[in-house]
Each structure stands twice: as structure tokens, then as C-alpha cells.
Structure 1
Amino acid sequence: MHLIYNNDFVETNHPVLNASNRSFRYGDALFETIKVVNGRPQFLDRHLTRLYRGMNVLGMNLPTLLHLHPVDSMVQDLLRINEITEGGRIRLTVFRKDGGAYLPETDDVDMLIEAFPAENNYPLNDEGLKIGLYQDLRKPINTLGFVKSANSLLFVLAAKFAQKSNFHDVVLLNENGNICEATASNIFLVKKNTLYTPNMEEGFIPGIMRERVIYMANTSGYQVEEGALTPQMMHVADEVFLTNSIKGIQWVKAFENKRYFNKVAKALSHALNA
């Protein structure tokens, strides 16, 4: 297997980063995880747009190498070399070049692209998820909350709590006590013909699959309402499902003592895979 470091192909067992790497030292990095279906990266332009927004927030310079066409070309070459012809997963990591302490010496960046085999398409989970509520820490609402950064400690701790509590996933709350997101997904609640999901003011990472699901729902006869959602609303929902770029739509079976259906999740999953 190979990866790409800047514009060079390197074997995955060959070290490319050193101890002064700013992603390792300070979490001074961000990343995108991109689904591959039938050998093609999905929604690459949307992923890069989100990456560029994050780089702008972090004050990083955007090199030509990270424009859409060079990235698409590099990804295609990497998939071919790694013999990934169907389903796969791409991780694109961007980090500020070495140098400096908290104050960097430069705002130029290095780039790492990795490719892994994965399931083709976005199959809906057969068995619904059992999820809980994570209340040990709340996510602040600020500009960094929208950035998919390498500092993922909140999500790490939430995922550890989920495992310890025998949940498949947990819901994170923001500083106002409203629903924010899950550990690696956005969240939707369904009541009758309406989908409810947190709006952008709630401090979550805006998912590419979330964006796609909203589009599909709007064009399939469903209403979508974005706003502030409380955990109590999950007890009166007909359905709950999670979305992310790799798994697509994952329906939830249980939250606390509440049980859910999956009719809308099935319909949207079918549309996603059409």
C-alpha cells in the first residue's frame, strides 16, 4: 500500500513525518474523510470547499496542489496504485509546516493522502443503532467548532464513553444544552413528514452527507426544519438517524427507553444509492 506525501508516492510503512510535526505537537491540522464508490471519490468538490473554509479559519495558505483537479488526479492515481477499484475511503490531512512553537514560523502547509479499501455504496444498517447521551463535556459554540481539525479529544472521550456504556454512539450537546452532533455524524429527527436537524448556529461540524440528505429530502416530498433541538425532542420523534460521509445513513433503533421506526431512513438511503 502507498500514500501521497505532498506530491510524492511513499510506501505506507515508510516514515514521512518527524517529531517536530505541528499536527503531532499542537493539533495544527485538519482533515477530510472521503467515500469512494465504484472507484470514484464522492462529493470531492464539497469536501474541498469545507477544507478550504477550515484552512481559512486556521490562517493556512492554500497551495495550488490542493485545488480540485490536482487533488482529484492524485486520488485517482493513489486508488489505482493501491488497487482500489470499488469501495474505499480517502483521508486527506493538511497540516502547517514544521517550525515554531504555538506561533508558527510559516503558514504554508504539507499534505498527506491515504487510501483504504471499504464497503462499496452506502448500505443501510440492518440492525438499528442503540445510542445514548454524552453529558460529561459540552461542545463550545465558536468558529473552531465548525472546523474538522486534528484535535478530536472531545469525540475521543465521547466514543470511549459510548463503548463503556454499551452504546453504538452518543449524542453530544453544545454549551446551551441543545443537540449538537454524534461522535462522527450529524443527526436527524423525523416526525411525520418532517425532518428536524440542528441549524448552523448549534456548533456542529457541517457534514457533507448532511448537506446531501437535506437536498434529497427537499426533492423527495419531505419538509426539513433546521433549528435548536433538545434531547427531550428525541422522546417524541418517530425516527432518528445519523449521517456521515463514509457510512451514509444509519438508522437508530433506541435512545434511552424510546424505540424508533426507519421508514424515512430507508427511503432516503435508497435514494442515496440510486
Structure 2
Amino acid sequence: MVNFNGDLVHSDQITLTKDNRAFKYGDGLFETVKVAQNSVVFWEDHYFRLMASMRMLRMNIPMSFTLEFLEEEILKTVKVQDAATSYRVRLSVYRRDGGLYTPATNEIDYLLEVSPIKILEKGSYSIDLYKDFYNYSGLLSTVKTNNRMLNTLASIFAHENDLNNAILLNENKGVVEATNGNIFIVKNQVIKTPALTEGCIKGVTRGKIIEIISKNEDFTIEETSISPFEIQKADEVFITNAITGVQTVTNYRKKVFATAIGEKLSNSLRILQVLKK
């Protein structure tokens, strides 16, 4: 079952017209959230990012789109799924049909899709650079729009080369993010992550990890530009997103990384998640 504009329907009952703007122009955005133990993880942060993104894309935000309303809609949709420990929920918002590049309306439709999260066994996790196309820096790149072609091509590259993930670069050949999350590198007592001006998504988990590191006197966090050379020289590398939390990286080309700091931050994130309930 999916939730289309508040109505629970079977997924095969959802029909997109030939004028669907998300399909024709990528005129939409989405939030991916985790639901665990009937709680939407870090929902307030996701909600305010969604509102900011909709404003940036000049979408009309319905009066009903309150934090409480959307949380109830998410939990309502989760409730009718097969029982699982935790769920991945994708909330898609897109402008209604009509118009060419100029839309006929700024009113929106929304769709909620739910799937159980599979627990993956720990093991090696390898990455490399994707250099065929660039993720251009700028404010629009920080928004999770439906245009994920670069992420798709980079994911195909990773699959074809027996990698777990690929790293996107910007037009200055600086590190931006992974295909499915933000990236952090650790060198001595300094932990770096690309600044938003580099073109990375303003990840909710990214923000939580920055918050955790900022309160730890043993480390310094820097939001800055990162060269691919710094990955090679790093002690540790890890990737963050809303579903996995912290994914430690073990291999980059011939380099093998430690994972202790990433694992500690993963534990701290889980504790923060419980405290935020």
C-alpha cells in the first residue's frame, strides 16, 4: 500500500499521466526517512529541510502540510505494511500536471512509499572516484530533487567495477559526496566533510554527525573543500545517510582504512536517535 495525497491505495492503482511533471521535467523533490519502533527518526529536521526545499523550488505549500500532519501520514502508511523492525519511507512531492518548462500551477501532489529495511552484514566496503561527469556546486545541488541522473550513472559505475559506492566530484574536481550520502574523512584528530558550497546534499544525518563531533573535545570538525588526494591519505572514511546512519569505508583503491572512529560515531548517533524520541 502507498499513500497518494492522503489516500491509502494499492501501488498498482497509482497512474501517472503523460503530463506528470516529475516524469517529464524532474520537477519534484523527495525526503527519505527511517521509521523505527513507530517513530520517524529525526523527523523535525527532515520536515524543515522539506519545507525549505519546497520554498526554494517555488512550490505552494498546502496549509495542511504541518509537521504533525505529515508525521501522522507517514505512520499511517507504515501501519498497513507487513511487520518489520524498521522501514524506509520515501516522501515524494511534485508539481501537478500541466505546462511546459513554465508550470501551469505551483500546487503539488505527494506520494508516500514504504519498504522494510534489510539488515546488512558487516564486511568490506570499497569506494572509488566517479569522474565521467561532475556534480556542479551551487545552492540547487543541496536540494534532493528528482534529478538523480549523476547518482544513477555513478552507481552503475560502482556496480560494474565491483565497488560498494562511488564518490562524486564537482567542477573543481573537489570531493562532493557519495552516490547515496555525505562523506567524511578522518586524519589524526581532524574530521572533514565537504562544505555545502561544494555542492553536497544538506543531509540530516550529516548535520547530526557534525553536532556530535562538535561536542567531542578530542576532535575538530571542518566543513571545507576536500581533494581526492586527501582520501588517499586519510586514516578513516565514512558515509552518512538517513537509513544506514554511518557506513564505514574499508577500501579506496589500494588503501585500507581503520573504522574505529566511524563505529564510535555510529553508536553515538544511535544514542542520539533514542534521546530524540
TM interval, shorter chain, is over 0.9
The equivalences for 1:236-255 within 5 A come to: 236-255=233-252
The equivalences for 1:24-173 within 5 A come to: 24-84=23-83, 86-119=85-118, 126-173=122-169
Alignment match, 2:229: 232
Could you tell me how far apart the structure 2 residues matched to 1:65 and 1:197 are?
Answer: 36
The normalised TM-score by structure 1 is 0.94
8 Å Cα contact 1:39/1:86 also seen in 2: no
> Counterpart of 1:220 in 2: which secondary structure?
coil
**Structure 2 vs 1, CA of residues 252 and 84 (structure 1 numbering), >3 Å: closer, same or farther?**
same
Letter in 1 for 2:185: L
> Counterpart of 2:147 in 1: which secondary structure?
coil
> Counterpart of 1:251 in 2: which secondary structure?
strand
Could you tell me how far apart the structure 1 residues matched to 2:236 and 2:242 are?
Answer: 20
8 Å Cα contact 1:39/1:88 also seen in 2: no
**Is the counterpart of residue 200 in structure 1 residue 196 in structure 2?**
yes
Could you tell me how far apart the structure 1 residues matched to 2:36 and 2:108 are?
Answer: 29
Could you tell me how far apart the structure 2 residues matched to 1:19 and 1:82 are?
Answer: 29
**Is the counterpart of residue 257 in structure 1 residue 254 in structure 2?**
yes
Of residues 152-161 and 141-150 in structure 1, the stretch that sits farther from structure 2 once superposed is: 141-150
Provide Cα deviations, 1:134-187, integer angstroms capped at 9, x if missing partner.
110111112321110111101111111111111111111111111000101100
8 Å Cα contact 1:139/1:203 also seen in 2: yes
Letter in 2 for 1:206: K
Of residues 9-18 and 169-178 in structure 1, the stretch that sits farther from structure 2 once superposed is: 9-18
8 Å Cα contact 1:79/1:85 also seen in 2: no
Alignment match, 1:7: 6
Of residues 168-177 and 192-201 in structure 1, the stretch that sits farther from structure 2 once superposed is: 192-201
Note the C-alpha offset of 1:271: 1.3
Could you tell me how far apart the structure 1 residues matched to 2:228 and 2:94 are?
Answer: 36
Note the C-alpha offset of 1:39: 2.2
Letter in 2 for 1:89: R
Provide Cα deviations, 1:198-245, integer angstroms capped at 9, x if missing partner.
111101111111111111222233221111100001121100001111
Note the C-alpha offset of 1:266: 1.1
Note the C-alpha offset of 1:84: 4.3
Gap runs ≥5 in structure 2? 272-277
> Counterpart of 2:176 in 1: which secondary structure?
strand
**Structure 2 vs 1, CA of residues 155 and 247 (structure 1 numbering), >3 Å: closer, same or farther?**
same
> Counterpart of 1:113 in 2: which secondary structure?
strand
Could you tell me how far apart the structure 2 residues matched to 1:84 and 1:20 are?
Answer: 36
State the aligned residue count. Answer: 270
**Structure 2 vs 1, CA of residues 70 and 84 (structure 1 numbering), >3 Å: closer, same or farther?**
farther
Alignment match, 1:223: 220
Could you tell me how far apart the structure 1 residues matched to 2:47 and 2:188 are?
Answer: 35
The normalised TM-score by structure 2 is 0.93
Alignment match, 1:191: 187
Could you tell me how far apart the structure 1 residues matched to 2:84 and 2:214 are?
Answer: 32
Letter in 2 for 1:228: S
Could you tell me how far apart the structure 2 residues matched to 1:83 and 1:75 are?
Answer: 15
8 Å Cα contact 1:57/1:143 also seen in 2: no
8 Å Cα contact 1:39/1:84 also seen in 2: no
Could you tell me how far apart the structure 1 residues matched to 2:13 and 2:135 are?
Answer: 37
Letter in 1 for 2:77: L
Letter in 1 for 2:237: V
Note the C-alpha offset of 1:193: 2.1
Alignment match, 2:268: 271
Of residues 41-50 and 224-233 in structure 1, the stretch that sits farther from structure 2 once superposed is: 41-50
Could you tell me how far apart the structure 1 residues matched to 2:131 and 2:75 are?
Answer: 42
The equivalences for 1:10-25 within 5 A come to: 10-25=9-24
8 Å Cα contact 2:138/2:197 also seen in 1: no
Of residues 73-82 and 235-244 in structure 1, the stretch that sits farther from structure 2 once superposed is: 73-82
For the aligned residue pairs, the C-alpha RMSD in angstroms reads: 1.5
